[in-house]
A and B are shown apart, each in its own frame.
With several copies, the nearest count.
Chain A
């Protein structure tokens, strides 16, 4: 089982994106689980969610405290202490950013950092910052945990064809660096 924690801001589509991942996993015959964390705030406030993927039924029903993978939709969030908290040894961080690794304060456990400018992709394609589908593309590429084609189809079905493009862009443009 892979445990993934997602961090974003209200309005960035974190929940929808995660649901798509679960759908893609289930569509491929696997198992997935997503639990959104519901705060009180609207737009712009930090939101997070917990995603699990496995090839057998997932039973635990709780937050993710020690993520294998972090998916960060907004690099301003890394200032919050909670974002990097609990990371497993050899964790993977996938982040929407224009920054360099050095600027990202990556903690020592992290094995791999993948950076993608999902905001730029999204601004390009939609004219606004909804980085979620581009992030999904990056996620598929970096982790290999979901089938790329199934994911793209789910994205297109849910959000329309433009988003397939965004996801593909994310897939293609993400830059991965092994730290260990």
Chain B
């Protein structure tokens, strides 16, 4: 810490990231079969955990998804279901 100058309090040594995936008790799982690729889930995900992937598909990522279930509620096709997180694996 001693080389740091401590003049004004600024943060520029990388991004401060919390492991929010560990909060999840349930994880959203997308049913590719019924999904109509409307993107509504992406638009409502507060965490931006749903992406439009390289294969031009909507996909749920689990690194930060907090498991709120909003995507599941909002999917017009009910293609997302919330599944209890098993054991110790937190995403």
Contacts and interface: CB of A to CB of B under 8 A. Distances in A.
A–B direct contact (CB < 8 Å): yes
Interface of A: 41, 43-45, 76, 128-129
B25 A76 contact: no
A76 B88 contact: yes
Interface in B5-47: 18-20, 22-23, 25
Contacts of A129: 25
Contacts of B19: 44
Contact of A128 (B18, B22, B23, B25): B25
Contacts of A45: 18
- Greatest chain A CB density within 10 A among B23, B25, B88 is at B23
Q: Please report whether the interface of chain A is mostly helix, strand, loop or mixed according to DSSP.
A: loop
12 contacts: A41-B18, A43-B23, A44-B19, A44-B20, A44-B22, A44-B23, A45-B18, A76-B22, A76-B88, A76-B90, A128-B25, A129-B25
Interface residues of B, number: 8
Nearest to B20: A44
Contacts of B18: 41, 45
A92 B74 CA distance: 49
A44 B85 CA distance: 15
A129 B20 CA distance: 17
A150 to B, nearest CB: 33
A129 B87 CA distance: 13
- Greatest chain B CB density within 10 A among A41, A44, A76, A128 is at A44
Nearest to A128: B25
A75 B23 CA distance: 15
Contacts of B20: 44
A66 B25 CA distance: 34
B26 to A, nearest CB: 11
Contacts of A128: 25
B68 to A, nearest CB: 11
A43 B25 CA distance: 12
A76 B25 CA distance: 15
Query: Nearest 3 pairs between A and B by C-beta?
Result: A44-B23, A44-B22, A43-B23
Contacts of B23: 43-44
B20 to A, nearest CB: 7
Given A44-B20, A128-B25, 10 more contacts: A41-B18, A43-B23, A44-B19, A44-B22, A44-B23, A45-B18, A76-B22, A76-B88, A76-B90, A129-B25
Nearest to B21: A44
Nearest to A10: B23
